[in-house]
Homo-oligomer: A and B are copies of this chain.
Amino acid sequence: MAAYKRHIDTDSISELTISRLSIYLRCVDQLLEAGLETVSSQELAKRFNLNSAQIRKDLAYFGEFGVRGVGYNVRELRQYIIEILGLDRERRLVIVGAGNLGLALCHYSGFSKGNFLVVGVLDSDPTRIGDATPAGLLVEDAERLPEIVTQRRVDIGVITTTPAAAQAVCDRMVQAGLRTVLNFAPTRVRAPEHVLAKTVDLKVHLEELSFFLAHAGG
How many Å from the CB of A62 to the closest CB on chain B?
A: 10
> Which of A14-22, A140-148, A167-175 participates in binding chain B?
A14-22
Q: Are B10 and A215 in contact (CB under 8 A)?
A: yes
Q: Are A205 and B198 in contact (CB under 8 A)?
A: yes
Alpha-carbon distance between A89 and B217 when the two chains are bound, in angstroms: 13
Alpha-carbon distance between A18 and B216 when the two chains are bound, in angstroms: 14
Chain B residues with Cβ below 8 Å from A214 are 84-86, 89
A129 CB-CB contact with B under 8 Å: no
Chain B residues with Cβ below 8 Å from A20 are 16
Q: Are A100 and B104 in contact (CB under 8 A)?
A: yes
How many Å from the CB of A61 to the closest CB on chain B?
A: 11
Q: Are A18 and B207 in contact (CB under 8 A)?
A: yes
> Which of A36-44, A63-71, A72-80, A109-117 participates in binding chain B?
A109-117
Q: Which residues in chain A, 183-214, are within 8 Å of chain B measured between CB atoms? A: 186, 194, 196, 198, 200-214
| Highest count of chain B CB atoms <10 Å: which of A100, A111, A163 | A100
Chain B residues with Cβ below 8 Å from A114 are 203
Q: Are B179 and A213 in contact (CB under 8 A)?
A: yes
Q: Chain A: residues with CB nearer than 8 A to chain B?
A: 7-8, 10, 14-16, 18-23, 25-26, 49-51, 84-87, 89, 91, 93, 99-101, 103-105, 108-111, 114-116, 134, 155-156, 163, 179-180, 182, 186, 194, 196, 198, 200-216, 218
